């Protein structure tokens, strides 16, 4: 039987979030790679493997365009930060009637996973963080990405002043914590099982992945997962991890 796919927009005041769902069973929320510019559903097709295709036959897969990428939209405010994105994500699963779920994120999606683990440990059954972003002598590179994002969408946001953009930058990437979204001293308090697929480049430094694996009490690190020869065992590890935490 073919997997059922639905496509819709969720409206929350002035916010519009595009999402798609596939399949049935335990819920898995997918938070795509691509940074602020491209954390949207289509970006999963560029991943080493696409979790939509890998999971939709066994799970209720929910994927979304984050605010102000793809066709999702929200005003830019100086108070915007990691908790703003978490609020969107939780509002979407609420809209879909999902109480508890696993979450899988890549790149900036890894930072979103950690924030959800901090804010909603009673709802997040487990998280998979694929090459999470992190701070390691690379703030200028993230500044360039942020400025490019602003340049791309700025014309759609006449409500946003320079102070709003500066506040958004500072809340997201202005701090000195290694994982950007969750303070270093909070990592040992996270009470959500995590599977971390290690990063190895300037935006996804190995140090960030290892820090999560070392400090989060119930975290496991997969070092090799991107290359074709490593993908079968890595996918098997993800499958076993999700199966364990969804019963």
Chain centre distance of CA 165: 21
φ/ψ of residue 4, rounded to 5: -80, 130
What is the per-residue pLDDT for 4?
A: 81
Nearest of 51, 119, 56, 32 to residue 82 by alpha carbon: 119
Asked whether the beta carbons of 173 and 142 are under 8 A apart, the reply is yes
Higher pLDDT, 6 or 128: 128
The whole-chain average pLDDT of the chain stands at 96
**pLDDT of 1 higher than 70:** no
The pTM is what? 0.97
In sequence order, what are the beta bridge partners of 9?
Answer: 18
What's the CA dihedral at 63, 65, 66, 68 to 10 degrees? Answer: -170
User: Helix 82-95 vs helix 108-119: angle between axes, to the nearest 10 degrees?
Assistant: 70
Any alpha helices (H) in the chain, and if so which ranges?
35-38, 51-55, 82-95, 108-119, 139-153, 162-173, 206-215, 231-246
- Domain formed by 5-246, architecture: 3-Layer(aba) Sandwich (3.40)
- pLDDT digits 0-9 by tens, 17-47: 999 999 999 999 999 999 999 999 999 999 9
| Dist CA 231 CA 225 (whole Å) | 5
At CA 207, angle to CA 53 and CA 235, rounded to 5? 20
**pLDDT of 180 higher than 90:** yes
Domain-wise residue ranges, the chain? 5-246
Q: What is the DSSP letter of 73?
A: B
Residue 2 pLDDT class (50, 70, 90 cuts): low
């Amino acid at each position: 039987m073919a997997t059922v796919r639905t496509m819709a927009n969720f409206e929350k005041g002035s916010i519009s979030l595009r999402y798609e769902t596939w399949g049935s069973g335990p819920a898995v929320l997918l938070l795509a790679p691509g940074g602020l510019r491209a954390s949207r559903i289509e970006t999963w097709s560029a991943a080493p493997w696409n979790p939509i295709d890998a999971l939709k036959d066994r799970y209720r897969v929910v994927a979304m365009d984050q605010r102000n990428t793809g066709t999702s939209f929200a005003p830019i405010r100086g108070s915007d930060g990691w908790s703003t994105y978490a609020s969107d994500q939780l509002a979407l699963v609420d809209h879909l009637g999902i109480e508890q779920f696993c979450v899988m994120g890549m790149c900036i999606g890894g930072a979103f996973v950690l924030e959800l683990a901090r804010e909603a440990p009673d709802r997040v059954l487990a998280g998979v963080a694929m090459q999470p972003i992190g701070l390691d002598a690379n703030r200028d590179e993230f500044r360039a990405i942020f400025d490019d994002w602003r340049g791309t969408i700025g014309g759609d946001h006449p409500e946003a002043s320079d102070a709003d953009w500066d506040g958004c930058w500072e809340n997201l990437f202005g701090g000195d914590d290694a994982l950007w979204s969750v303070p270093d001293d909070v990592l040992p308090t996270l009470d959500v099982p995590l599977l971390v697929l290690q990063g190895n480049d300037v935006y996804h430094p190995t140090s960030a992945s290892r820090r999560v694996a070392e400090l989060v009490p119930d975290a496991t690190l997969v070092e090799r997962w991107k290359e074709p020869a490593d993908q079968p065992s890595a996918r098997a590890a993800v499958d076993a991890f999700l199966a364990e935490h969804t019963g």
